[in-house]
Structure 1
Amino acid sequence: MVEVVEDREWLGDDKRDGGEEAEDKRLSATEYVFRNTEVPSWKEQLTVRSMVTSLVLSLVFNFIVCKLNLTTGVIPSLNVAAGLLAFSIIKFWTTALHRMGFIVQPFTRQENTVVQTCVVASSGIAFSSGTASYLLGMIPRIADQAEVGNTPNNVKDLSIGWMMGFLFVVSFVGLFSIVLFRGMMVLKFKLTYPSGTATAYLINSFHTPKGARLAKKQVSMLFKSFSFSFVFAAFQWFFAGGDDCGFASFPTFGLQAYAKRFYFDFSSTYVGVGMLCPAMINISLLFGAVISWGIMWPLIEAKKGIWYSADIPASSLHGIQGYRVFLAIAMILGDGLFHFVIMIITTTVSLMKRKSESRSAGNSTNEGEDYDENIRTEYFVKDSIPKWVGVGGYAALAVVSIIVVPLIFHPLKWYHILVAYAIAPVLAFCNAYGCGLTDWSLASNYGKVAILVFSSWVGLNNGGVLAGLASCGVMMSIVSTASDLMQDFKTGYLTLASPRAMFFSQVMGTAMGCVMTPLVFWIFYKAYPIGDPNGSYPAPYALMYRGIALLGVEGFGSLPKHCLALAVGFFVGAIVINVLTEVLKKYETKYRIYRFIPNPMCMAIPFYLGGYFAIDMCVGSLILFFWHRASKQKAKDFGPAVASGLICGESLWGIPAAILALAGVNAPLCMKFVKS
C-alpha cells in the first residue's frame, strides 16, 4: 500500500477541495494500487505452470484432508495455505527462470486465484467423496460393528474403479446447478462469503510490494514448521513398533486417564489444526470429551449387565458402543436440523427483504460512485458463462447419473436419482446463499437428511442402508460443490480473476480430486485397519453415517436400554444450546456471552473418539494465545503459516509411513508404558 500513501501525501492540503471525498475514495481503493498492472485474458490466467502447481498441491492437500478425515473428521479451512503455497511455488519458479535469462509471463494475482481455486476444489472432493463417511460406512468391516443390516444387499466392498466412476458422475453436477446464479449472488445480493473474501484480500496483499515481502517471511515460517513436523513425525515412527506403542500412546496424565482416552498424543497435525480453528471449537471438543468419557460412559458402564448384556463385546452397538455412537448421532442430527431450519428461514427472510428493498429503491442506484466496484463488476461480467452451459450441463449429467448410479448401487432405482436431482438445485441454491451469509456450508446435513429419507423409502430388506448411504453421496456432492464454487466466484470477483477461468479451474480441480481422492485413500485403506475404533485411523463418521441409515430403515427398536431416552435428550439439548446461542447473539451485545457457549456438533465428536485429539487442539489454541500476548501482529501474520506447516509436515510423513507399512517394514522399537 506504499503507493496509496505516497499519492495521498502528494495531493497536499491545498488540493483537497470539493472533490476531496471522491478522490480519497479512489486513491484508497484496492484496485487503484493495481491500476498499472495489466489484467490477462481468461485463457492467459489458465497457464501450464498454474495447472502443474495445482496438481502438485492437490496431491499434498488430498493426503492432508484424507488423514484428517480418517482420524477425527475435523478439517480447518485450508484456503490460506493453498493461496500462500501457490504464491511461493510460482514466484520461486518465475524468479529463478528470470535470473537465468528466460522471458516468463508475469505472475499475477489472477493466476494465484486460479491455482488456489483448483487446489481447494480438489481437496473439497476429498471431503465430499465420503471415503471416511458414507462410502466407508458401506464396507463389511463397519457393518460388523453395527451388526444389524449386515446383509449382502446392504454392504459393498470398495474398489478404486467404481469409486472413481461414482465421483466423476456426481461431483460435477453441483457446478452446473449454481453457475447461472453467480451474478445474482455476487453482484445483486452482494453476499459476503467471508472465507472467499478473506482469501481474496490475502492474495491481493501478496501481490503488492509490501505483501510480497511479508509473503516471503510467511513462506519461510511455513517451511520451518513443515520441516520440524515432518522430522518429528519420522522420529516418532521409530518407537511405534507394535500395538499401543510410541509417542501417540504416551500416558501424559497417567494410565487411568489414558484408559479413558485422555492424553496428549504429540500430533503436530492437530496442534496446527487447533491453531487454525476458533478457540471455542477446541474447547467444545474438550468439553464433550469430559462429559462423555469422564462422566457418562463410566456411569453407563456401571450398569453393565442391567442396561445391556455383560457378554456383549465392547465394539457392539448393542452395548456401550451403542450409547457412544447414537448419542453422538442425536447431537449431530439436532445441531444439523437446527441449522438446516435456520438457514432456510434466513435465506427466505433475506430474499424477501431484498425484494422489498429493490421495489422501494426503484431504478435508482449508486453505481459508478465506488471505484473498486466499477472495476470489479466490469471484469466480472466481461467473460460471461452462457446459460445453455449451466442448463445443458446439469441436464446431461443428471441423465448420466440416472443411468450409471443404479448400476453401481443396485438398491437405488432410476426414479430415486430423478427425485434427488429434481430437488438438488433448490438445496444447492439454499446452501450457496446461506454460505454467503454465514460462511457455513451445510452439505453434510443435507446428506444426512437424504440418508434418512432414501433409506426409509427403500427399506432394510431391499438394501435401504446401502441406498441411503449412496443417496447421501449424490446430495452431498451437489450442494457442497455449489457453495464452494460460489465462494470461489467471490474470490475471483475481488481479484479480477475471470469467471470463465474460475469455472474451468474448478472443473479441473474437481477432475483432479475425482482421480486423486480414491488413490490417496486406497494407500491408507490397504496399509492400515481403517475403521478400527482403537486404531490409528478410526474414521468415526463411517459408523455414525451407517447408524443414521439404520435409524432410517429400522427406527429405534434395536437400541440398548434407555439409549433412546438419552438420545432424545441430547437431540433436544443440541437444539436448546443453539437456540440459546442465537437469542444471546440477537439481544445480548455488551458482554457477548454467546462466545462462551460450546458448539453441540463439536461436543458430539469426542463421544466416540475420546479426548486425545481435543487436547492436541487446545494446545494449539494455547500456543496461539500466548503468541498473541507476546506479539499480536506477528501472531496474526505468521500464525496461519506455522499452523499450515505443522499440518502439512506430519500429514506428508503419512506417505512414506504408508509405503513402509505396505512393504511390511515395522518400526524397530516399541515404547510402551505399563503399571509398575
Structure 2
Amino acid sequence: MERNPSKQMAGNESDYTSEIEGRERVMVEDAFRNTEVPSWKNQITVRAIVTSFILSIVFNFIVCKLNLTTGVIPSLNVAAGLLGFAILKGYTSILSQFGLMKLPFTRQENTVIQTCVVASSGIAFSSGTASYLLGMSGKIAAQAEEGNIPINIKKLSVGWMMGFLFVVSFVGLFSIVPLRKMMILKYKLTYPSGTATAYLINSFHTPKGAKLAKRQVAVLFKSFCFSFSFALFQWFFAAADGCGFASFPTFGLQAYEKRFYFDFSSTYVGVGMICPFMVNISLLLGAIISWGVMWPLIEARKGDWYSASLSATSLHGIQGYRVFTAIAMMLGDGLYHVFFMLFQTFYSLAQQKLSHDSGDSSLDATDYDAKRRIEHFTKDQIPNWVAMLGYGILAVISIIAVPLIFHQLKWYHVLVAYAIAPVLAFCNAYGCGLTDWSLASNYGKFSIIIFSSWVGLDNGGVIAGLASCGVMMSIVSTASDLMQDFKTGYLTLASPRSMFFSQVCGTAMGCFLSPLVFWFFFKAYNVGDPEGSYPAPYGLMYRGIALLGVEGVSSLPRNCLTLAICFFVAAIVINIIREFLQKVDTRYRTYRFIPSPMCMAIPFYLGAYFAIDMCVGSLILFLWQRRNKIKASEFAPAVASGLICGESLWSVPAAILALAGVKAPLCMKFLSSSTNSKVDAFLGA
C-alpha cells in the first residue's frame, strides 16, 4: 500500500474525471480540430522543464514527508496537472499582455509537465529513502538488533544514494518501450490514472474547462494558504516532543496512550479526501484491531511471552509483534495480488489472442477521435533497437556499478535481477493497465527475501536484499509509470517521443532531488524514531523482511510466528472474499465494504492518529457530496491538494529553524489531574 497510492488509490481520481467524461460525450478531438499539434520538440519547451523542476521540488517535499510519517501517499496526478496548468497559464497570460508570447500553451505541453512531475515524485517513492535505503542505516539496525553487525549496516550519505539512483532508475524506461503500441492500440488497456489525467488536461484546454480550471486554482490557493498558516500557528506551541496540537488527546489521555487521537494534520485530512472511503475505513479498522485489542492483550503477557526488561523498540518485545504481524499481512496481500495479477494478465492475453485470431482487429478506428489519436501516436516512434540497446547498455553499467556501491551484492546477483526484471515489468505494466494497481513494492519485498537468503547473514545478506529491492522496484515501477504516461499522451495527442523524454527528464530530476530532500529531513529531525514526528515505519519493516530472509523465523518472540501466519492467511482470505463477492453480487455490490488488508496493516505499527485524520477528510468529502455532488467532484481534489501542499511546504522553513537551533516559544502539553497536582506541588516547593 505504500505505493503510490498514486496508482493504488486512484479510485477517487478516476471517479472525478469519469464524471467529466460522462458530462462530455461529444468527440474530444472535435473541439481541437482547428488547433495545430506542435512537433515533439516544441512540446518539450524550456518553460515546461523549468515549471516541472519547480513543481518537482514541491512534490518531492510532499512525498518525502508522507513517506517519513506514515508511508501513505495519495494520487498526485490531479495536483500535478492542475498546478502545471495554473503556473504556465499564468506565466503565458502575463507575457501575452506585453506581446512577448511566441508559442501558445498547449495541452501537449501541459502533459509534458505532468509527466515530468509525476516521474520525479515517483522516484521519491521508489528511491527507498524512507524504506529500503533507510533500513540499511545503523539507527534502524539498532532497533532491529538482529543482524546489527558492520557488514549488514551502511552509513547513509547523499553521494552514494544519488549515484545508486542514477545507475538503476533509467533502466526500466527502456524495458517497456517496445510494447507501447501493443498495450495501448492493440489491447486497448485503460490505464485509469493515465486516462483520468488526460481527460483532466483536455478539459482544461477547452474554453469551458479553462474557466473551471481557474476557479479550481483559486480554491487550491485558498486551501494552500489556510494549511500553511495553520501549520505555522501550530509550530508556536511545539517547543519539544509531545507538545502542541499534534499531541492533542482528543479522546482522552488513555486513548492518547494507545495512539487514538486527532493530530490536526491538514496533510492527512487532504489525503483522506483523495483516497477512497474504504481505504480510510480499513486504516481505522486495522488500528482498532491492533492498538485497541491485540497490543493491550499481548502487553498483559509481558514477562511471559517476552522479557519485561526489553525496551519498547526491541523486535524481541512488543515491537516485534507490531512489525512482523504487519509484515505478514502485507506479504499475504502482496502475494495474492501478484499471483492474481499474473493470472489476470495471462488470461487477458489469451482472450486477446482469441479475439485477434477470430478476425476482430482492435486497431480499427471507427471515429474521428480514434483516427486522430492513432495517427499522432504512431507518428514519432522510438525504434525498438534503441530501446533494447539502451536497456542492455544501462544494465551493463548497473551490473558493474551497483556491486561497487554495495559490495555485499555481487555482479551475478544484479545480472539475475536484470534478466527477470523485464518479465515482471511487463506483468506490472499490463496489470496496471487493467486495474490501476502497481505492485512494484510487492516485487521489491519478494526480491529482498530471495536475495538476502541467497547471500546469507554473515556475508551481508541484509544489505544485499535491501539493495536488490531497489534494483527491482526501480525497473518495475518506472515501466508501469511510463506506460501510464503513454496512455495520457495518446489521449492528448502528445508525441510518444516527447512522453519518453519528459519521463527521462523527470526521472533525472527525481534522482537529483530525492536524496537532497531526504537529507534535509534527516539532518533536521530525528528520522526513524518510532515515537518521533518522523517514524519512517517502512525502514524497520523492510529491514525486518530482510532479517526474515537471512534468519528465518527463529528470532521472533513467542507466539509471534503464530500470529504472523494467521494474519498472512487472513489477508489472502479477505482478498478472495472480495473477488468472490465482486463476481456474484452485482446488485448490491457488497464487495465495496470489504476492507483492504494492506491498509489494515499500516496502523499495526503506527497507531490510529493518521487514520483518524484521513477519516475526517472522508467525512468532509461525504458531507460535501451529499450537499452538492457536482461541486464536490470539481473542487474536492483542489481543496485536498492545497491542504497537502500547504502543510508539507511548511516543513521546509520548520526544518531550517530546527537546523538553526531555533525552538518554538511555547510548549502546550496535556496532563492528567493527578499528574498536574504533582507538578504544581513540585513547582510550589
Query: TM-score by structure 2 length?
Result: 0.94
Aligned-pair CA distance for 1:386: 1.0
The reply on whether 1:466 has 2:463 as its aligned counterpart is: yes
After superposition, give the CA deviation of every residue in 1:531-558 in whole Å (9 maximum; x if it has no partner): 1000000000110000000000000000
Q: Which residue of 2 aligns with 1:128?
A: 126
Q: In the alignment, residue 109 of structure 1 is paired with which amino acid?
A: R
- Given that residues 197 and 494 in structure 1 are in contact (C-alpha distance below 8 angstroms), is that contact kept between their aligned partners in structure 2? yes
Aligned-pair CA distance for 1:45: 0.3
CA RMSD of aligned residues (A): 1.0
Q: Secondary structure at the match of 2:176?
A: helix
Q: Secondary structure at the match of 1:624?
A: helix
Instruction: Pick one of 281, 298, 301 that aligns with 1:300.
Output: 298
Following the alignment from structure 1 to structure 2, what is the Cα–Cα distance between the partners of residues 637 and 114? 23
Distance 1:405 1:366, change over 3 A: closer
The reply on whether 1:270 has 2:268 as its aligned counterpart is: yes
After superposition, give the CA deviation of every residue in 1:4-62 in whole Å (9 maximum; x if it has no partner): xxxxxxxxxxxxxxxxxxxxxx9931101100100000000010100000000000000
- Given that residues 376 and 495 in structure 2 are in contact (C-alpha distance below 8 angstroms), is that contact kept between their aligned partners in structure 1? yes
Distance 1:302 1:499, change over 3 A: same
Q: Secondary structure at the match of 2:301?
A: coil
Aligned-pair CA distance for 1:366: 7.1
Following the alignment from structure 1 to structure 2, what is the Cα–Cα distance between the partners of residues 365 and 74? 38
Aligned-pair CA distance for 1:120: 0.2
- Given that residues 97 and 104 in structure 1 are in contact (C-alpha distance below 8 angstroms), is that contact kept between their aligned partners in structure 2? no
Aligned-pair CA distance for 1:589: 0.9
Aligned-pair CA distance for 1:368: 3.8
Aligned-pair CA distance for 1:146: 0.5
* Structure 1 unaligned residues grouped into runs of 5+: 1-25
Q: In the alignment, residue 400 of structure 1 is paired with which amino acid?
A: I
The reply on whether 1:631 has 2:628 as its aligned counterpart is: yes
Following the alignment from structure 1 to structure 2, what is the Cα–Cα distance between the partners of residues 355 and 623? 46
The reply on whether 1:546 has 2:543 as its aligned counterpart is: yes
Q: In the alignment, residue 497 of structure 2 is paired with which amino acid?
A: R
Following the alignment from structure 1 to structure 2, what is the Cα–Cα distance between the partners of residues 317 and 340? 28
Aligned-pair CA distance for 1:389: 1.5
Q: Which residue of 2 aligns with 1:104?
A: 102
Distance 1:368 1:610, change over 3 A: closer
Q: Secondary structure at the match of 1:556?
A: coil
Q: Secondary structure at the match of 1:361?
A: coil
Q: Which residue of 1 aligns with 2:412?
A: 415
The reply on whether 1:578 has 2:584 as its aligned counterpart is: no
- Given that residues 457 and 464 in structure 1 are in contact (C-alpha distance below 8 angstroms), is that contact kept between their aligned partners in structure 2? yes
- Given that residues 409 and 470 in structure 1 are in contact (C-alpha distance below 8 angstroms), is that contact kept between their aligned partners in structure 2? yes
Following the alignment from structure 1 to structure 2, what is the Cα–Cα distance between the partners of residues 302 and 365? 62
Q: Which residue of 1 aligns with 2:83?
A: 85
Instruction: Pick one of 636, 646, 651 that aligns with 2:648.
Output: 651
Following the alignment from structure 2 to structure 1, what is the Cα–Cα distance between the partners of residues 572 and 244? 40
- Given that residues 63 and 73 in structure 2 are in contact (C-alpha distance below 8 angstroms), is that contact kept between their aligned partners in structure 1? yes
Q: Which residue of 2 aligns with 1:662?
A: 659
- Given that residues 143 and 150 in structure 1 are in contact (C-alpha distance below 8 angstroms), is that contact kept between their aligned partners in structure 2? yes
Q: Which residue of 2 aligns with 1:119?
A: 117
Following the alignment from structure 2 to structure 1, what is the Cα–Cα distance between the partners of residues 453 and 364? 52
- Given that residues 399 and 411 in structure 2 are in contact (C-alpha distance below 8 angstroms), is that contact kept between their aligned partners in structure 1? yes
Aligned-pair CA distance for 1:243: 1.7
Q: Which residue of 2 aligns with 1:165?
A: 163
Q: In the alignment, residue 348 of structure 1 is paired with which amino acid?
A: F
> Moved runs in structure 1, 4+ residues, more than 4 A?
none
- Given that residues 452 and 548 in structure 1 are in contact (C-alpha distance below 8 angstroms), is that contact kept between their aligned partners in structure 2? yes
Q: In the alignment, residue 65 of structure 2 is paired with which amino acid?
A: K
- Given that residues 140 and 528 in structure 2 are in contact (C-alpha distance below 8 angstroms), is that contact kept between their aligned partners in structure 1? yes
Q: Secondary structure at the match of 1:484?
A: helix
* Structure 2 unaligned residues grouped into runs of 5+: 1-23, 674-685
Instruction: Pick one of 472, 476, 479 that aligns with 1:479.
Output: 476
Instruction: Pick one of 593, 598, 604 that aligns with 2:595.
Output: 598
After superposition, give the CA deviation of every residue in 1:540-583 in whole Å (9 maximum; x if it has no partner): 01100000000000000000000000100000000000000000
Following the alignment from structure 2 to structure 1, what is the Cα–Cα distance between the partners of residues 98 and 228? 32
- Given that residues 94 and 104 in structure 1 are in contact (C-alpha distance below 8 angstroms), is that contact kept between their aligned partners in structure 2? no
Q: How many residues align?
A: 650
Instruction: Pick one of 617, 629, 635 that aligns with 1:620.
Output: 617
Q: Secondary structure at the match of 2:378?
A: helix
Q: In the alignment, residue 234 of structure 2 is paired with which amino acid?
A: Q
Q: Secondary structure at the match of 2:534?
A: coil
Distance 1:365 1:405, change over 3 A: closer
Following the alignment from structure 1 to structure 2, what is the Cα–Cα distance between the partners of residues 582 and 368? 34
Q: Which residue of 2 aligns with 1:524?
A: 521
Aligned-pair CA distance for 1:370: 1.6
Q: Which residue of 2 aligns with 1:454?
A: 451
Following the alignment from structure 2 to structure 1, what is the Cα–Cα distance between the partners of residues 330 and 371? 44
Instruction: Pick one of 398, 411, 432 that aligns with 2:395.
Output: 398
- Given that residues 188 and 362 in structure 2 are in contact (C-alpha distance below 8 angstroms), is that contact kept between their aligned partners in structure 1? no
After superposition, give the CA deviation of every residue in 1:304-325 in whole Å (9 maximum; x if it has no partner): 0000011111110000000000
Following the alignment from structure 2 to structure 1, what is the Cα–Cα distance between the partners of residues 422 and 99? 51
Aligned-pair CA distance for 1:103: 3.1
Q: Which residue of 2 aligns with 1:67?
A: 65
Q: Which residue of 2 aligns with 1:561?
A: 558
Following the alignment from structure 2 to structure 1, what is the Cα–Cα distance between the partners of residues 592 and 384? 43
Following the alignment from structure 2 to structure 1, what is the Cα–Cα distance between the partners of residues 156 and 173? 26
Aligned-pair CA distance for 1:367: 2.2
Q: In the alignment, residue 384 of structure 1 is paired with which amino acid?
A: Q
Q: Which residue of 2 aligns with 1:6?
A: none
Following the alignment from structure 1 to structure 2, what is the Cα–Cα distance between the partners of residues 428 and 593? 33
The reply on whether 1:514 has 2:511 as its aligned counterpart is: yes
Q: Secondary structure at the match of 2:71?
A: coil
